[in-house]
Structure 1
């Protein structure tokens, strides 16, 4: 049974190039949002900036109206102990907060999806360490991806990197298991799922034309999430703060191509001693 028989969408090089257009719009929108994060800005302000930038760039927000109940905004803005899917609103960012911003855009029917966690001014050292470990684990996942490998090679690398890093208080990092990365293309969420934990060598093969969103979510404490009454916002069970990073990527014969990174991932891949598979 091939990947297509399991509902996995394999793209042509031309279709991947079109996904890159959507990915660039997402990456540039997140750059704008990163610069906009400061004390006194509300999450609704960030949402308005994102929607305007996406539409001015020729795209449509992927998240707006998605799901049941329909998501009411163009980005997810999750603050402090909110892990993912925070609904933008009147909440004003305060010094020391962190906000995870998840952004998706559709251009000509193709999706891009990425997320960053940003500190609001200076924040606690343990939270900065949480952000570092979470982002690095995502890149460890890309580094483990090889054509002919398996999806959980990525999952295993993400988990192993997190587990290898000392916890600031001597505790254990909480790798959220209920939410995963995913396939992406003509829909935002497609098979296969990309967990952030588990044994290597499992799941579908990594083949050319497969596009995946890799998105570790890590907390300073519990790995168990709880759903807020708004039916979207996911919080850590114990109130510990969380970080979330995500990029959409594909593999070429030359290496990984990070479709939602403005430079295609070239600089970060070079730091890791990895080849760059983009244009």
Structure 2
């Protein structure tokens, strides 16, 4: 393997089934594209299926693509949609090798999901929590299967799990709500790994893309927009590079459950993927377990592991 882990280091993926949420654009698209290039059968799980079909056509039109690419409707802001998507995926895929929880929203104005959850927490955490729980029994029997959830450097910024006001009904901070959702991604990953470890087949990992130049930043608050625009050429990287930590977590034979990958450059903003550390708050077991219990209650999804 080269000193810097690159797309060329992704192992052969023939015979593997990968589900990638939010795969019609940005990081998810690049993740799906590179997995398909290595032979995986990739499902683009997306809210807008027309955009998903166009993304699938772009991937299959690439001469490098070796795997099949299909599209599945999935709206993470609706638990009904999550349940329908999970039922469809279970019907068409008796085994799943990779579930990549990539889709997300960032810094959105105050909004709620169809189920009344704050949009960022509902989409980034609860939607993926429910989807994972509903599909996990398709992964558990599969040797080498993995659940990879995409977090963010934002899990350190004004980030806490506000159990007394998870839905930000009393006051709202778009940055704080994003930080809560991304911290939740890590708390979920570490608790999931602890629960599935006795099964010995599936592992859970997390990754973050650093500062990647994607559509995710379109809701950046006005006060931050100018400095972000000026600093972008110095701090950000393209979506292909931003997807590499996720791909390393998903495919590197040396990766282990409970690990967290991100860019290796200064501040973890850009660079080739390496093992990184998450915040001390993300490793608090009591918070992990409490969030798990609350998430089961809010979504009505109980996992087939304890």
TM-score strictly above 0.5: no
Normalising by structure 1, we get a TM-score of 0.31
- Identify, as 1 or 2, the structure richer in helix: 2
Higher relative contact order (CA 8 A, sep 6+): 1
Normalising by structure 2, we get a TM-score of 0.29
